[in-house]
Structure 1
Amino acid sequence: MNIEKTFIADLVVLNPSIYNDERGYFFEAYNQSKFNKNGIEYQFIQDNQSFSKRGVIRGLHLQINPFAQAKLVRVLEGEILDVAVDLRKNSPTYGKHFSVVLSSENKKQLMVPHGFAHGFSVLSETASVLYKVDQIYHKESERGIRYDDPILAIDWQINPEEVIVSEKDLILPSLNEVNWSFE
């Protein structure tokens, strides 16, 4: 497994070693010992899976402390643009975002640590996304930022007329309206 650092501290892209032969392929999607040896020390307790069609944007979602979630995101079918926004107040990259295409073909994963908002857009006709989390869902701790926040100016790689967003995500505040942060 190759761990690719991004310009945002603690946010990494994981590129698995894939073994192909006449039967198909094999790769290790998760190995806690290898993660720990590389400084990724989360105890994942739950797997979540979503299925979405082209144009869907989910996010930008997070949970505040003490229920903040780290997420290990991968795509089982299709292709997404995965986005993480640094919301750690003391970080030099506060308010910056990173995006990467994750697909069933490239098998990349994004490790999103505590202190980040997370979202994705579906670039293929459909996509199945699986992500591990290290904390339970806690409704009262749930927060988010609008996907089209002008401060973040995220290019979701979707034509505006194709965008499908939940009612819940449409009422999220912009970055400059949030009154919570991660230290």
Structure 2
Amino acid sequence: MALLEIPPSVARKELGNMFSSNPAMLLQINDMRDSLVVVLCSLLRGDRLTTAGNNVPADHEVLRLSAAIEDLEKKYFIPIQHRNVSTVSVVAGGKKTNQMYYEIDKDLIAQLQSDPEPVLRKQKKVLASKEWVRKQKKLDDLLRNHGGVTETFLTLMHHAYKDKPLSKEKWTELEAKFKDLLNGLDAA
């Protein structure tokens, strides 16, 4: 498998031609660093990409591909499919491992080329929803680990003020005020 070797100027020109009727997409492409432009161009050609060193059937391998994919997904809202493949790893001494390749579905490529705005909006919503779920899980874990809202808040407060030495009396006074406030909110 060969390293991906599209010159950035060629990739930018190809993407410019592809999105010539969509100024918003052209602005995003102009904002991207060269490595992202090259990866996006290859994906929109329909190529399968994998990280260099993987033993996965793909069209090209790319150094630090996962970082580029993350940027394309989270910063530019490009919908990219992650595909796991069970394979024998050279690095893991011939043991079976799961490795990944990335691609964009042919239908999504056509949609991106014809009208990218709805595709990008949908991807942005999907990412926001995933982020909300992730944050909710973190909050649920905090509450479960500390025994409720009041205890969690007090733990976070202690953590926030760990560098500001307060006397024992001041801590007791602060905790009492916060407990009263939070208990009042719980009761409401």
TM-score if structure 1 supplies the norm length? 0.20
TM-score if structure 2 supplies the norm length? 0.19
Higher strand share goes to which structure?
A: 1
If asked which structure has higher relative contact order (CA below 8 Å, sep 6+), I would say 1
Higher helix share goes to which structure?
A: 2
Structure whose alpha-carbon radius of gyration is higher: 2
